[in-house]
Amino acid sequence: MIRHIWTVYCKEQLVDTATNNTSLIGILEQLNIGVDDESELTQLKIISFDSRLVTLWARRAWDTPVKSEMRIRFLGPEGSDLAEPVTYDVDLRQHLRVRVFTAVQTIGVTSSGVYEWVTERRGDADEEEWVAESRIPIEVRVTVGADDETPS
């Protein structure tokens, strides 16, 4: 079985080619978004925003190679999916751990509130259902009257 170690939402990640260590830059906990007027938020608004979701997985038993699946979901304040879930294979047959880097170029916003990145796994012989491993809250503050919709 695979084990979720951590998930972090950030502006960028750097990988040191000599050591293969990762630096996560600009950890994101809150996004401030400006809109011209409130009518822009009557439906899902797609905002361009270059960011990364980085997840670390490891073998639960270090001496047992394993392969599984993970997926990432982005939920709005009401708990509904605001984007199509993204699924990856997590192959730990030759490595003890693996990082998964997900480039996020846009996010969907419906209002101010707490949104969540949800990291799930499945794939063990006895599992068919997705199991949530982490829920990363992101506070979104929408300001009406601001003309810059680029999150900060």
1-12, pLDDT tens digit by residue?
Answer: 899 999 999 999
- The single residue listed with the structure tokens 């600009």 is 26
Burial class (CB in 10 A: 0-12, 13-18, 19+), 124: middle
107-126, pLDDT tens digit by residue?
Answer: 888 889 999 999 999 976 56
Q: How many CB atoms lie within 10 A of CB 70?
A: 24
71-95, pLDDT tens digit by residue?
Answer: 999 999 999 999 999 999 999 999 9
Q: What is the pTM of this model?
A: 0.87
DSSP strand pairing (2-15 vs 97-109):
unpaired
Q: How many CA atoms lie within 13 A of 71 on its CB side?
A: 15
Cα–Cα distance measured from residue 125 to residue 10, given in angstroms and rounded to the nearest whole number: 33
Cα–Cα distance measured from residue 70 to residue 92, given in angstroms and rounded to the nearest whole number: 12
Q: How much is the mean pLDDT over the chain?
A: 89
Which of 61, 149, 56, 46 lies closest to 105, judged by CA?
Answer: 46
| Ordered domains of the chain (ranges, CATH) | 2-144 (2.60.40.3880)
DSSP strand pairing (30-35 vs 131-144):
parallel
